[in-house]
Structure 1
Amino acid sequence: MKKLLLGLVLVLAVTTGTLYFSPNLLMASMRLVEQQMAGLSSRQIEVNGLSIHYYQGGPSIGETLLMIHGFGANRDNWLRFSRAFTSRYQVIALDLPGFGESDKPDARYDVATQTERLHAFIQALKIDKPHLIGNSMGGHIAALYAARYPQQLRSVALLDNAGVMSPQKSEMFSMIERGEPNPLVVRKAEDFDKLMKFVFVNPPPLPDSLKRHFAEQSMANQNHYDKIFSQLRDHYVPLEPELPKIQVPTLLLWGEQDRVLDVSSIEVMKPLLAKPSVVIMKDCGHAPMLERPEETAQHYQDFLDGRL
Protein backbone atom coordinates (compact mmCIF):
# COMPACT_ATOMS: atom_id res chain seq x y z
CA MET A 1 0.00 0.00 0.00
CA LYS A 2 2.81 2.42 0.86
CA LYS A 3 4.60 1.69 -2.43
CA LEU A 4 1.32 2.28 -4.24
CA LEU A 5 0.93 5.61 -2.43
CA LEU A 6 4.41 6.69 -3.49
CA GLY A 7 3.62 5.72 -7.10
CA LEU A 8 0.41 7.73 -7.02
CA VAL A 9 2.25 10.79 -5.73
CA LEU A 10 4.78 10.57 -8.57
CA VAL A 11 2.13 9.96 -11.24
CA LEU A 12 0.06 12.85 -9.94
CA ALA A 13 3.12 15.09 -9.92
CA VAL A 14 3.95 14.30 -13.53
CA THR A 15 0.40 14.45 -14.90
CA THR A 16 -0.47 17.71 -13.18
CA GLY A 17 2.82 19.40 -13.95
CA THR A 18 3.78 19.58 -10.26
CA LEU A 19 7.18 18.07 -11.03
CA TYR A 20 8.04 21.06 -13.18
CA PHE A 21 6.07 23.91 -11.69
CA SER A 22 6.09 23.16 -7.96
CA PRO A 23 9.08 21.19 -6.73
CA ASN A 24 8.28 22.40 -3.20
CA LEU A 25 4.92 20.63 -3.33
CA LEU A 26 6.47 17.53 -4.85
CA MET A 27 9.16 17.44 -2.18
CA ALA A 28 6.61 17.83 0.60
CA SER A 29 4.52 14.99 -0.84
CA MET A 30 7.47 12.67 -1.28
CA ARG A 31 8.80 13.47 2.19
CA LEU A 32 5.41 12.64 3.68
CA VAL A 33 5.35 9.29 1.88
CA GLU A 34 8.92 8.51 2.99
CA GLN A 35 7.95 9.33 6.58
CA GLN A 36 4.95 7.00 6.38
CA MET A 37 7.03 4.20 4.89
CA ALA A 38 9.56 4.63 7.68
CA GLY A 39 6.86 4.85 10.36
CA LEU A 40 8.04 8.29 11.46
CA SER A 41 6.18 11.48 12.33
CA SER A 42 7.49 15.04 12.40
CA ARG A 43 7.77 16.74 15.79
CA GLN A 44 9.23 19.84 17.39
CA ILE A 45 10.53 20.75 20.84
CA GLU A 46 12.00 23.89 22.40
CA VAL A 47 15.33 23.27 24.14
CA ASN A 48 17.25 26.11 25.79
CA GLY A 49 15.43 28.67 23.66
CA LEU A 50 15.99 26.82 20.36
CA SER A 51 13.26 25.17 18.31
CA ILE A 52 14.49 21.71 17.29
CA HIS A 53 12.63 19.64 14.70
CA TYR A 54 12.90 15.87 14.63
CA TYR A 55 11.35 12.63 13.41
CA GLN A 56 10.12 10.06 15.88
CA GLY A 57 8.60 6.63 15.42
CA GLY A 58 8.55 3.05 16.62
CA PRO A 59 7.64 1.69 20.07
CA SER A 60 8.04 4.20 22.89
CA ILE A 61 9.02 1.43 25.31
CA GLY A 62 12.41 -0.15 24.76
CA GLU A 63 15.67 0.95 23.20
CA THR A 64 16.10 4.16 21.22
CA LEU A 65 18.21 4.84 18.13
CA LEU A 66 19.17 8.51 17.87
CA MET A 67 20.44 9.61 14.44
CA ILE A 68 22.64 12.66 13.77
CA HIS A 69 23.17 14.04 10.25
CA GLY A 70 26.28 15.64 8.80
CA PHE A 71 27.32 19.09 7.58
CA GLY A 72 24.86 20.73 5.20
CA ALA A 73 22.38 17.89 5.67
CA ASN A 74 19.23 17.30 7.73
CA ARG A 75 17.09 14.58 9.33
CA ASP A 76 15.74 13.46 5.93
CA ASN A 77 19.08 11.68 5.38
CA TRP A 78 17.86 8.90 7.70
CA LEU A 79 14.37 8.27 6.30
CA ARG A 80 15.04 5.22 4.12
CA PHE A 81 17.62 3.82 6.52
CA SER A 82 15.08 4.09 9.36
CA ARG A 83 12.57 1.75 7.69
CA ALA A 84 14.54 -1.25 8.95
CA PHE A 85 14.28 -0.22 12.60
CA THR A 86 10.95 1.33 13.58
CA SER A 87 9.27 -2.05 14.10
CA ARG A 88 11.75 -2.90 16.85
CA TYR A 89 13.22 0.36 18.18
CA GLN A 90 12.12 3.87 18.93
CA VAL A 91 13.82 5.93 16.23
CA ILE A 92 14.60 9.64 16.56
CA ALA A 93 16.38 11.71 13.89
CA LEU A 94 16.87 15.39 14.57
CA ASP A 95 17.71 18.51 12.60
CA LEU A 96 20.68 19.87 14.50
CA PRO A 97 20.41 23.58 15.35
CA GLY A 98 21.66 25.47 12.32
CA PHE A 99 20.31 22.90 9.84
CA GLY A 100 17.06 21.70 8.32
CA GLU A 101 13.96 23.19 9.95
CA SER A 102 15.56 23.79 13.34
CA ASP A 103 16.46 27.32 14.46
CA LYS A 104 19.51 28.96 12.88
CA PRO A 105 20.47 31.82 15.20
CA ASP A 106 23.69 33.78 14.91
CA ALA A 107 25.50 31.47 17.31
CA ARG A 108 28.28 28.90 17.58
CA TYR A 109 27.95 25.61 15.72
CA ASP A 110 31.27 23.95 16.49
CA VAL A 111 31.24 20.27 17.46
CA ALA A 112 31.70 20.86 21.21
CA THR A 113 28.76 23.29 21.33
CA GLN A 114 26.53 20.98 19.28
CA THR A 115 27.44 18.07 21.54
CA GLU A 116 26.09 19.93 24.55
CA ARG A 117 22.96 20.89 22.60
CA LEU A 118 22.50 17.20 21.80
CA HIS A 119 22.84 16.40 25.51
CA ALA A 120 20.14 18.98 26.34
CA PHE A 121 17.89 17.51 23.62
CA ILE A 122 18.29 13.97 25.02
CA GLN A 123 17.48 15.22 28.53
CA ALA A 124 14.45 17.19 27.31
CA LEU A 125 13.00 14.09 25.63
CA LYS A 126 13.95 11.92 28.65
CA ILE A 127 15.69 9.36 26.42
CA ASP A 128 17.25 6.61 28.52
CA LYS A 129 20.66 5.45 27.25
CA PRO A 130 20.14 5.66 23.48
CA HIS A 131 22.20 4.07 20.74
CA LEU A 132 23.82 7.01 18.89
CA ILE A 133 24.53 6.88 15.17
CA GLY A 134 26.08 9.79 13.28
CA ASN A 135 27.43 10.50 9.81
CA SER A 136 30.34 12.84 8.99
CA MET A 137 30.06 15.89 11.29
CA GLY A 138 27.25 14.03 13.07
CA GLY A 139 29.67 11.16 13.71
CA HIS A 140 32.17 13.61 15.20
CA ILE A 141 29.43 14.85 17.54
CA ALA A 142 28.32 11.30 18.40
CA ALA A 143 31.90 10.24 19.24
CA LEU A 144 32.51 13.30 21.41
CA TYR A 145 29.20 12.69 23.19
CA ALA A 146 30.19 9.07 23.86
CA ALA A 147 33.50 10.26 25.30
CA ARG A 148 31.93 12.94 27.51
CA TYR A 149 28.96 10.85 28.65
CA PRO A 150 30.24 7.25 28.54
CA GLN A 151 27.68 5.92 31.03
CA GLN A 152 24.69 7.42 29.25
CA LEU A 153 24.76 5.40 26.02
CA ARG A 154 24.28 1.79 24.94
CA SER A 155 26.43 2.04 21.80
CA VAL A 156 27.74 4.47 19.21
CA ALA A 157 27.99 4.02 15.43
CA LEU A 158 30.24 6.31 13.41
CA LEU A 159 29.59 6.48 9.67
CA ASP A 160 32.45 8.19 7.78
CA ASN A 161 32.95 10.46 10.77
CA ALA A 162 34.98 13.64 10.99
CA GLY A 163 37.37 14.46 13.81
CA VAL A 164 40.43 12.32 12.99
CA MET A 165 43.65 13.14 11.13
CA SER A 166 43.71 10.31 8.60
CA PRO A 167 47.04 8.85 7.44
CA GLN A 168 45.89 9.41 3.85
CA LYS A 169 44.61 12.96 3.37
CA SER A 170 41.14 13.08 1.83
CA GLU A 171 40.51 14.66 -1.55
CA MET A 172 38.33 17.35 0.05
CA PHE A 173 41.00 18.55 2.47
CA SER A 174 43.64 18.43 -0.26
CA MET A 175 41.42 20.72 -2.33
CA ILE A 176 40.86 23.12 0.56
CA GLU A 177 44.59 23.28 1.35
CA ARG A 178 45.24 24.20 -2.31
CA GLY A 179 42.83 27.12 -1.90
CA GLU A 180 40.03 25.55 -3.94
CA PRO A 181 36.36 26.06 -2.92
CA ASN A 182 34.80 23.73 -0.38
CA PRO A 183 33.07 21.07 -2.53
CA LEU A 184 30.35 20.64 0.12
CA VAL A 185 29.05 24.21 -0.34
CA VAL A 186 26.94 24.98 -3.43
CA ARG A 187 27.69 28.46 -4.78
CA LYS A 188 26.18 28.19 -8.27
CA ALA A 189 23.61 25.87 -9.82
CA GLU A 190 26.10 23.55 -11.53
CA ASP A 191 27.86 22.95 -8.20
CA PHE A 192 24.98 20.73 -7.09
CA ASP A 193 25.77 18.03 -9.67
CA LYS A 194 29.44 18.26 -8.66
CA LEU A 195 28.46 17.85 -5.02
CA MET A 196 26.41 14.72 -5.77
CA LYS A 197 29.26 13.15 -7.72
CA PHE A 198 31.70 14.07 -4.97
CA VAL A 199 29.67 12.58 -2.13
CA PHE A 200 28.35 9.44 -3.88
CA VAL A 201 29.94 6.76 -6.03
CA ASN A 202 26.51 6.23 -7.62
CA PRO A 203 24.42 9.41 -7.09
CA PRO A 204 20.67 8.81 -6.72
CA PRO A 205 18.74 9.86 -9.85
CA LEU A 206 16.84 13.14 -9.53
CA PRO A 207 14.60 15.02 -11.98
CA ASP A 208 16.10 18.29 -13.23
CA SER A 209 13.42 20.31 -11.43
CA LEU A 210 14.40 18.80 -8.08
CA LYS A 211 18.09 19.34 -8.81
CA ARG A 212 17.32 23.03 -9.41
CA HIS A 213 15.26 23.11 -6.22
CA PHE A 214 18.03 21.59 -4.09
CA ALA A 215 20.64 23.82 -5.74
CA GLU A 216 18.60 26.94 -4.96
CA GLN A 217 18.13 25.88 -1.35
CA SER A 218 21.84 25.19 -0.96
CA MET A 219 22.85 28.48 -2.59
CA ALA A 220 20.53 30.36 -0.24
CA ASN A 221 22.42 28.83 2.71
CA GLN A 222 25.91 29.40 1.27
CA ASN A 223 27.03 32.11 3.69
CA HIS A 224 25.54 30.26 6.65
CA TYR A 225 27.35 27.03 5.73
CA ASP A 226 30.63 28.86 5.11
CA LYS A 227 30.38 30.31 8.61
CA ILE A 228 29.64 26.94 10.20
CA PHE A 229 32.49 25.23 8.32
CA SER A 230 34.88 27.96 9.50
CA GLN A 231 33.73 27.42 13.09
CA LEU A 232 34.23 23.66 12.76
CA ARG A 233 37.84 24.29 11.71
CA ASP A 234 38.59 27.20 14.08
CA HIS A 235 37.20 25.33 17.11
CA TYR A 236 38.23 21.86 16.01
CA VAL A 237 38.06 19.10 18.63
CA PRO A 238 40.42 16.21 17.78
CA LEU A 239 38.98 12.81 18.60
CA GLU A 240 42.29 11.01 19.13
CA PRO A 241 42.51 11.89 22.87
CA GLU A 242 38.75 11.36 23.30
CA LEU A 243 38.31 7.89 21.77
CA PRO A 244 39.87 5.94 24.67
CA LYS A 245 37.17 7.39 26.94
CA ILE A 246 34.43 5.63 24.94
CA GLN A 247 33.45 2.48 26.82
CA VAL A 248 30.43 1.31 24.82
CA PRO A 249 30.53 -0.89 21.70
CA THR A 250 31.52 1.28 18.72
CA LEU A 251 30.87 0.65 15.05
CA LEU A 252 33.19 2.22 12.48
CA LEU A 253 31.45 2.02 9.10
CA TRP A 254 32.99 3.68 6.04
CA GLY A 255 32.47 3.94 2.32
CA GLU A 256 35.74 2.79 0.78
CA GLN A 257 35.60 5.47 -1.95
CA ASP A 258 34.82 8.36 0.43
CA ARG A 259 36.36 11.52 -1.08
CA VAL A 260 35.28 13.76 1.82
CA LEU A 261 36.88 11.88 4.74
CA ASP A 262 39.37 9.16 3.92
CA VAL A 263 38.75 5.56 4.97
CA SER A 264 42.27 5.38 6.43
CA SER A 265 40.84 7.20 9.47
CA ILE A 266 39.85 3.73 10.70
CA GLU A 267 43.54 2.86 11.12
CA VAL A 268 43.80 5.66 13.68
CA MET A 269 40.52 5.05 15.46
CA LYS A 270 40.33 1.28 15.89
CA PRO A 271 43.36 0.89 18.24
CA LEU A 272 42.07 3.70 20.47
CA LEU A 273 38.61 2.20 21.08
CA ALA A 274 37.71 -0.28 23.82
CA LYS A 275 35.11 -2.24 21.81
CA PRO A 276 35.44 -1.53 18.07
CA SER A 277 33.71 -3.21 15.13
CA VAL A 278 34.64 -2.30 11.55
CA VAL A 279 32.73 -2.42 8.26
CA ILE A 280 34.14 -1.02 4.99
CA MET A 281 31.63 -0.85 2.14
CA LYS A 282 33.13 -1.18 -1.34
CA ASP A 283 31.96 1.08 -4.18
CA CYS A 284 30.37 3.44 -1.67
CA GLY A 285 31.00 7.08 -0.84
CA HIS A 286 30.59 9.45 2.08
CA ALA A 287 26.96 8.75 3.07
CA PRO A 288 26.33 4.97 3.09
CA MET A 289 22.89 5.30 4.72
CA LEU A 290 21.80 7.35 1.67
CA GLU A 291 23.69 5.57 -1.09
CA ARG A 292 22.91 2.01 0.09
CA PRO A 293 20.35 2.28 2.92
CA GLU A 294 19.27 -1.37 3.10
CA GLU A 295 22.82 -2.74 3.18
CA THR A 296 23.94 -0.14 5.70
CA ALA A 297 20.92 -0.92 7.88
CA GLN A 298 21.80 -4.63 7.84
CA HIS A 299 25.36 -3.92 8.93
CA TYR A 300 24.04 -1.72 11.72
CA GLN A 301 21.50 -4.33 12.86
CA ASP A 302 24.27 -6.95 12.92
CA PHE A 303 26.27 -4.59 15.15
CA LEU A 304 23.31 -3.99 17.47
CA ASP A 305 22.72 -7.75 17.68
CA GLY A 306 26.37 -8.35 18.56
CA ARG A 307 27.15 -10.19 15.33
CA LEU A 308 30.00 -7.86 14.33
Structure 2
Amino acid sequence: MSTPSPLTPRPPFLQPLMLDGESLRIESQWLGEAQEARQPLLVFLHEGLGSLSQWRDFPARLCEALQLPGLVFSRPGYGHSTPRTAPWPPDYLQRQARGLLPACFEALGLADRPLLLFGHSDGASLALLYAAHAAQQVRGVVAMAPHLFVEPMTLLGLHAAKTAYEQGDSLRKALARHHADTDSAFYGWNDAWLRPGFEDWNIEAELQGRLQCPVLAVQGVHDEYGSLRQIEAIAELHADTRLLALPDCGHSPHKDQPERLIAHMQDWLASLA
Protein backbone atom coordinates (compact mmCIF):
# COMPACT_ATOMS: atom_id res chain seq x y z
CA MET A 1 0.00 0.00 0.00
CA SER A 2 1.33 3.45 -0.89
CA THR A 3 1.88 5.95 1.87
CA PRO A 4 -0.63 8.86 1.85
CA SER A 5 0.87 12.26 1.17
CA PRO A 6 0.91 14.75 4.06
CA LEU A 7 -2.09 16.56 2.60
CA THR A 8 -4.42 13.55 2.66
CA PRO A 9 -7.19 14.30 5.18
CA ARG A 10 -8.26 11.29 7.23
CA PRO A 11 -11.88 11.09 8.43
CA PRO A 12 -12.55 13.18 11.56
CA PHE A 13 -12.92 11.19 14.78
CA LEU A 14 -13.78 11.80 18.43
CA GLN A 15 -10.77 11.24 20.69
CA PRO A 16 -11.72 10.32 24.28
CA LEU A 17 -9.83 12.23 26.92
CA MET A 18 -9.79 12.47 30.71
CA LEU A 19 -8.97 15.90 32.11
CA ASP A 20 -9.22 16.72 35.81
CA GLY A 21 -11.50 13.74 36.33
CA GLU A 22 -13.86 14.75 33.53
CA SER A 23 -14.48 12.63 30.44
CA LEU A 24 -14.21 14.68 27.23
CA ARG A 25 -14.42 14.02 23.51
CA ILE A 26 -12.12 15.93 21.18
CA GLU A 27 -13.08 16.24 17.50
CA SER A 28 -9.82 15.51 15.68
CA GLN A 29 -8.45 14.89 12.19
CA TRP A 30 -5.09 13.68 10.91
CA LEU A 31 -3.61 15.00 7.68
CA GLY A 32 -1.48 12.27 6.15
CA GLU A 33 0.67 9.83 8.11
CA ALA A 34 0.77 11.99 11.21
CA GLN A 35 2.04 9.19 13.42
CA GLU A 36 5.24 8.97 11.38
CA ALA A 37 7.78 10.55 13.72
CA ARG A 38 10.49 11.44 11.21
CA GLN A 39 9.06 14.94 10.69
CA PRO A 40 7.60 17.58 12.98
CA LEU A 41 3.83 17.52 13.19
CA LEU A 42 2.01 20.70 12.17
CA VAL A 43 -0.75 21.34 14.73
CA PHE A 44 -3.54 23.84 13.99
CA LEU A 45 -5.09 25.77 16.91
CA HIS A 46 -8.27 27.59 15.96
CA GLU A 47 -9.64 31.02 16.86
CA GLY A 48 -12.15 31.95 19.56
CA LEU A 49 -15.16 31.03 17.41
CA GLY A 50 -13.34 28.43 15.33
CA SER A 51 -13.41 24.67 14.97
CA LEU A 52 -11.92 21.88 12.94
CA SER A 53 -14.28 22.45 10.01
CA GLN A 54 -13.91 26.24 10.00
CA TRP A 55 -10.31 25.90 8.78
CA ARG A 56 -11.83 24.47 5.58
CA ASP A 57 -9.07 23.30 3.23
CA PHE A 58 -6.29 25.57 4.49
CA PRO A 59 -4.57 22.97 6.73
CA ALA A 60 -4.40 20.46 3.86
CA ARG A 61 -3.07 23.12 1.49
CA LEU A 62 -0.40 24.22 3.95
CA CYS A 63 0.64 20.66 4.78
CA GLU A 64 0.93 19.92 1.06
CA ALA A 65 3.05 23.00 0.43
CA LEU A 66 5.35 22.20 3.35
CA GLN A 67 5.26 18.41 2.89
CA LEU A 68 4.48 17.94 6.57
CA PRO A 69 1.81 15.84 8.29
CA GLY A 70 -0.79 17.70 10.32
CA LEU A 71 -3.34 17.56 13.10
CA VAL A 72 -6.51 19.66 13.33
CA PHE A 73 -8.87 19.50 16.29
CA SER A 74 -11.68 21.39 18.01
CA ARG A 75 -11.05 22.34 21.61
CA PRO A 76 -13.77 21.61 24.20
CA GLY A 77 -16.66 24.00 23.70
CA TYR A 78 -16.26 24.01 19.92
CA GLY A 79 -17.19 22.00 16.86
CA HIS A 80 -18.29 18.50 17.83
CA SER A 81 -16.08 18.32 20.90
CA THR A 82 -17.65 18.27 24.36
CA PRO A 83 -19.53 21.55 24.98
CA ARG A 84 -18.39 23.87 27.77
CA THR A 85 -20.99 25.96 29.60
CA ALA A 86 -20.19 29.64 30.20
CA PRO A 87 -18.75 31.31 32.15
CA TRP A 88 -15.22 30.23 31.33
CA PRO A 89 -12.48 31.33 33.76
CA PRO A 90 -10.55 34.46 32.73
CA ASP A 91 -7.34 32.42 32.47
CA TYR A 92 -8.91 29.76 30.24
CA LEU A 93 -6.12 30.00 27.65
CA GLN A 94 -3.41 29.59 30.28
CA ARG A 95 -5.29 26.58 31.68
CA GLN A 96 -5.58 25.04 28.24
CA ALA A 97 -1.83 25.49 27.68
CA ARG A 98 -0.97 23.82 30.99
CA GLY A 99 -3.67 21.14 31.06
CA LEU A 100 -5.74 20.59 27.93
CA LEU A 101 -3.01 20.53 25.29
CA PRO A 102 -0.66 18.20 27.20
CA ALA A 103 -3.60 15.86 27.85
CA CYS A 104 -4.65 15.96 24.18
CA PHE A 105 -1.15 15.26 22.94
CA GLU A 106 -0.76 12.44 25.45
CA ALA A 107 -4.05 10.84 24.39
CA LEU A 108 -3.07 11.08 20.71
CA GLY A 109 0.36 9.55 21.31
CA LEU A 110 2.22 12.80 20.73
CA ALA A 111 3.74 13.48 24.13
CA ASP A 112 7.29 13.16 22.74
CA ARG A 113 6.60 14.30 19.17
CA PRO A 114 8.29 17.47 17.86
CA LEU A 115 5.59 20.00 16.99
CA LEU A 116 5.15 23.05 14.83
CA LEU A 117 2.18 25.08 16.08
CA PHE A 118 0.00 27.18 13.77
CA GLY A 119 -2.41 29.27 15.84
CA HIS A 120 -5.04 31.83 14.89
CA SER A 121 -6.26 34.56 17.29
CA ASP A 122 -7.10 32.75 20.56
CA GLY A 123 -5.24 29.79 19.10
CA ALA A 124 -2.17 31.94 18.44
CA SER A 125 -2.11 33.08 22.06
CA LEU A 126 -2.51 29.44 23.09
CA ALA A 127 0.33 28.36 20.79
CA LEU A 128 2.67 30.90 22.36
CA LEU A 129 1.67 29.88 25.87
CA TYR A 130 2.19 26.19 25.11
CA ALA A 131 5.58 26.90 23.49
CA ALA A 132 6.61 28.66 26.69
CA HIS A 133 5.27 25.77 28.76
CA ALA A 134 6.76 22.93 26.64
CA ALA A 135 9.85 24.53 25.14
CA GLN A 136 11.59 21.20 24.45
CA GLN A 137 8.72 19.90 22.31
CA VAL A 138 7.83 22.92 20.17
CA ARG A 139 10.13 23.56 17.19
CA GLY A 140 8.38 26.69 15.95
CA VAL A 141 5.22 28.80 16.24
CA VAL A 142 3.20 30.66 13.65
CA ALA A 143 1.19 33.17 15.69
CA MET A 144 -1.46 34.64 13.37
CA ALA A 145 -3.48 37.57 14.74
CA PRO A 146 -2.42 36.79 18.34
CA HIS A 147 -3.63 38.48 21.51
CA LEU A 148 -0.99 39.23 24.13
CA PHE A 149 -3.09 41.90 25.83
CA VAL A 150 -6.52 43.47 25.44
CA GLU A 151 -6.99 46.54 23.26
CA PRO A 152 -10.05 48.82 23.08
CA MET A 153 -10.62 47.79 19.46
CA THR A 154 -10.76 44.15 20.58
CA LEU A 155 -13.54 44.88 23.04
CA LEU A 156 -15.45 46.88 20.43
CA GLY A 157 -15.31 43.90 18.10
CA LEU A 158 -16.53 41.59 20.84
CA HIS A 159 -19.47 43.86 21.66
CA ALA A 160 -20.37 44.02 17.96
CA ALA A 161 -20.23 40.22 17.73
CA LYS A 162 -22.52 39.86 20.74
CA THR A 163 -25.05 42.24 19.21
CA ALA A 164 -24.95 40.35 15.93
CA TYR A 165 -25.38 36.98 17.67
CA GLU A 166 -28.28 38.07 19.88
CA GLN A 167 -30.15 40.44 17.58
CA GLY A 168 -29.72 38.81 14.20
CA ASP A 169 -29.62 35.29 12.87
CA SER A 170 -26.82 35.33 10.28
CA LEU A 171 -23.97 34.82 12.76
CA ARG A 172 -25.90 32.16 14.67
CA LYS A 173 -26.68 30.30 11.46
CA ALA A 174 -23.07 30.58 10.29
CA LEU A 175 -21.81 29.12 13.56
CA ALA A 176 -24.40 26.34 13.47
CA ARG A 177 -22.71 24.95 10.36
CA HIS A 178 -19.56 24.28 12.40
CA HIS A 179 -20.64 23.79 16.04
CA ALA A 180 -22.99 21.26 17.56
CA ASP A 181 -23.70 23.75 20.40
CA THR A 182 -23.46 27.32 19.16
CA ASP A 183 -24.12 28.87 22.59
CA SER A 184 -21.19 26.93 24.02
CA ALA A 185 -18.86 28.23 21.33
CA PHE A 186 -20.09 31.82 21.36
CA TYR A 187 -20.79 32.61 25.00
CA GLY A 188 -17.78 30.76 26.40
CA TRP A 189 -15.47 32.98 24.36
CA ASN A 190 -17.49 36.20 24.31
CA ASP A 191 -18.47 36.27 27.98
CA ALA A 192 -14.92 35.62 29.13
CA TRP A 193 -13.52 38.55 27.17
CA LEU A 194 -16.33 40.97 28.08
CA ARG A 195 -16.39 40.12 31.80
CA PRO A 196 -15.37 43.13 33.97
CA GLY A 197 -11.67 42.97 34.76
CA PHE A 198 -10.67 41.04 31.65
CA GLU A 199 -9.38 44.25 30.10
CA ASP A 200 -6.31 43.75 32.29
CA TRP A 201 -5.58 40.28 30.86
CA ASN A 202 -1.98 40.10 29.62
CA ILE A 203 0.33 37.16 28.86
CA GLU A 204 3.56 39.03 28.13
CA ALA A 205 5.13 38.17 31.49
CA GLU A 206 4.33 34.47 30.94
CA LEU A 207 6.19 34.51 27.63
CA GLN A 208 9.15 36.68 28.60
CA GLY A 209 12.32 34.58 28.69
CA ARG A 210 10.46 31.28 28.20
CA LEU A 211 10.07 31.13 24.43
CA GLN A 212 12.96 29.21 22.88
CA CYS A 213 11.71 28.39 19.38
CA PRO A 214 11.50 30.60 16.27
CA VAL A 215 8.25 32.53 15.91
CA LEU A 216 6.58 33.86 12.77
CA ALA A 217 4.19 36.57 13.99
CA VAL A 218 1.52 37.44 11.42
CA GLN A 219 -1.03 40.26 11.47
CA GLY A 220 -3.35 41.78 8.91
CA VAL A 221 -2.82 45.53 8.76
CA HIS A 222 -6.60 45.97 8.80
CA ASP A 223 -7.30 43.43 11.54
CA GLU A 224 -10.50 44.54 13.25
CA TYR A 225 -9.66 42.75 16.53
CA GLY A 226 -6.09 43.88 17.16
CA SER A 227 -3.37 46.27 16.06
CA LEU A 228 0.19 45.61 14.93
CA ARG A 229 1.25 46.23 18.52
CA GLN A 230 0.30 42.62 19.23
CA ILE A 231 2.96 41.10 16.98
CA GLU A 232 5.45 43.88 17.73
CA ALA A 233 5.18 42.93 21.40
CA ILE A 234 6.27 39.37 20.55
CA ALA A 235 9.40 40.66 18.83
CA GLU A 236 10.18 42.90 21.80
CA LEU A 237 10.13 40.00 24.26
CA HIS A 238 11.59 37.27 21.98
CA ALA A 239 14.49 37.98 19.64
CA ASP A 240 13.92 34.97 17.37
CA THR A 241 10.74 36.48 15.89
CA ARG A 242 10.01 37.35 12.28
CA LEU A 243 7.22 39.90 11.80
CA LEU A 244 4.82 39.69 8.88
CA ALA A 245 2.33 42.55 8.49
CA LEU A 246 0.01 41.85 5.55
CA PRO A 247 -1.54 44.90 3.81
CA ASP A 248 -5.17 44.76 2.66
CA CYS A 249 -5.77 41.94 5.13
CA GLY A 250 -8.08 41.56 8.12
CA HIS A 251 -8.25 39.22 11.11
CA SER A 252 -8.02 36.00 9.07
CA PRO A 253 -4.97 36.01 6.76
CA HIS A 254 -5.48 32.31 5.96
CA LYS A 255 -8.80 33.29 4.35
CA ASP A 256 -7.90 36.75 3.02
CA GLN A 257 -4.45 35.95 1.58
CA PRO A 258 -3.78 32.19 1.81
CA GLU A 259 -1.27 32.02 -1.06
CA ARG A 260 0.84 34.85 0.31
CA LEU A 261 0.71 33.39 3.81
CA ILE A 262 1.79 29.94 2.59
CA ALA A 263 4.66 31.43 0.59
CA HIS A 264 5.91 33.37 3.60
CA MET A 265 5.73 30.28 5.78
CA GLN A 266 7.70 28.27 3.20
CA ASP A 267 10.38 30.95 3.19
CA TRP A 268 10.45 31.11 7.00
CA LEU A 269 10.86 27.37 7.40
CA ALA A 270 13.54 27.30 4.70
CA SER A 271 15.47 29.94 6.60
CA LEU A 272 15.32 27.80 9.74
CA ALA A 273 16.56 24.72 7.91
TM tier relative to shorter chain: 0.7 to 0.9
> Which residue does the alignment assign to 2:239?
274
Distance across 1 between alignment mates of 2:143 and 2:218:
6
Larger radius of gyration: 1
Q: In structure 1, what is the Cα distance between the partners aligned to 2:108 and 2:157?
A: 40
CA contact (8 A) 1:164 1:268 kept: no
Structure 1 residues 223 and 53, CA gap change in structure 2 (3 angstroms): closer
**Residue 123 of structure 2: aligned partner:** 138
Matched, 1:251 2:211: no
| Deviation (angstroms), 1:300 | 1.7
Using the TM superposition, give the Cα deviation of residue 125 of structure 1 relative to its aligned residue in structure 2, in angstroms.
Answer: 1.5
Distance change (3 Å), C-alpha of 1:74 and 1:184 = farther
Match of 2:174 in 1: 214
CA contact (8 A) 1:253 1:281 kept: yes
**Counterpart in the other structure of 1:242:** 206
Equivalent residue for 2:17?
A: 47
Counterpart position of 1:172: 154
Instruction: Select the residue among 27, 30, 42 that pairs with 1:65.
Output: 42
Q: Distance in 1 between matches of 2:166 and 2:212?
A: 41
- Deviation track 1:213-240 (CA, whole Å, cap 9, x = no partner) reads 426668x724752243333556775221
SS in 2 for 1:40: coil
Aligned twin of 2:270 = 305
Q: Offset of 1:81 from its aligned partner?
A: 2.0
Aligned-pair identity in percent equals: 23
Provide the C-alpha distance between the structure 1 equivalents of 2:157 and 2:189, rounded to a whole number of angstroms: 18
- The answer to whether 1:117 aligns with 2:81 is no
May I ask how many residue pairs the two structures share in their alignment? 248
Match of 1:30 in 2: none
Contact 2:6 2:70 (8 Å CA) reproduced = no
Q: How large is the Cα RMSD of the aligned pairs?
A: 3.0
Could you report, residue by residue, the CA deviation over 1:198-254 in whole angstroms, capped at 9, with x for unpaired residues? Answer: xxxxxxxxxxxxxx8426668x72475224333355677522112221000011011
Residue-by-residue CA offset, 1:7-54 (whole Å, 9 max, x unaligned): xxxxxxxxxxxxxxxxxxxxxxxxxxxxx9952121221111210011
Deviations 1:69-120 (A, max 9, x none): 0111111233322213147111101101110111114474611222220111
Given that residues 139 and 213 in structure 2 are in contact (C-alpha distance below 8 angstroms), is that contact kept between their aligned partners in structure 1? yes
Q: Give the letter aligned to residue 231 of structure 1.
A: A
Higher helix fraction: Structure 1 or Structure 2? 1
Q: Give the TM-score normalised by structure 2.
A: 0.79
Name the aligned partner's letter for residue 246 of structure 2: M
